[in-house]
Amino acid sequence: APCPPTARSTRAPMAAPFKSTPCTDVLPPSLLAQLAALTPAQLESLSPAERAEIWAALDAHEAALAAGEKPSGLVPSPEARADPRVFAEEVFGLRIWRKQAELLDAVRDFDRVTCSSGHKTGKSTSFGVLGWWWTSDPDARPGARCAMSSASARQVKKILWREVRALWRRARDRGYDLGPEPALDPETGVQWDDGRELFGFTARDPEKAAGTPRAHHPFLPDGAGGSPDDTLEASEGDRAG
């Protein structure tokens, strides 16, 4: 629920960063980054005019929340575009647990990653996060093309692609513009004007794993044990360019 407006006279002196402020999870990332970068000593050294400017920004944000308004036009911070774990927390407001963090960190740091399967572990959500993260930075990954697959068409559409669409709506509600709304059909996916793509297909159709070779083309198979060898080989051939 939105944090209620707080009267200026009841606020404590600005003597420490705002990490404990109840509303920090919905403040604009740019303002959060500025506040988080300040040490207690720096906060205490702010001039009255600088403090007034910060309070005005907080007041305006709280008033917008109280009026039911939502932020819009936000873009992921440089830190989020560089790190899928930060991306998940900042853009989607997700709380990542330890095993999800290990998977996201591994995909960030290594070219090939495998993980054990499991139920209700957040794996499909992690795949959705990785798909959106990978295609979120056209400067670092121009023409990025992210393919997601599972053993059956039902699993692709009802599990993987459902997560992709839910994450897009979650980001939109938090004010982030990730791009076009995902199509209902995973194979249509998400297509940007600059050539980026995010899409899903069944692992039983290896031809879908192949395509135009690109430098930034990850393949995310959910349940690779159920993927035929020719599907994995097609993906590897695509990666090789």
Cα-only R_g, the chain = 21
Helix (H) or strand (E) holding 80, with range, is helix 78-82
* Residue positions counted in the chain: 241
Q: What is the DSSP string of 177-199?
A: --SSPPPSSTTT-EE-TTS-EEE
- Residue 5: the pLDDT is 39
* pLDDT digits 0-9 by tens, 131-174: 999 999 999 999 999 999 888 888 899 999 999 999 999 999 88
- Quick one: tokens of 49? 């005019």
- Residue 35: the pLDDT is 63
In whole angstroms, give the CA distance from residue 19 to residue 25: 10
pTM of the complete model: 0.65
- Residue 178: the pLDDT is 93
* pLDDT digits 0-9 by tens, 70-84: 666 788 999 999 999
- With a CB cutoff of 8 Å and minimum separation 6, the contacts of 165 are 181, 182
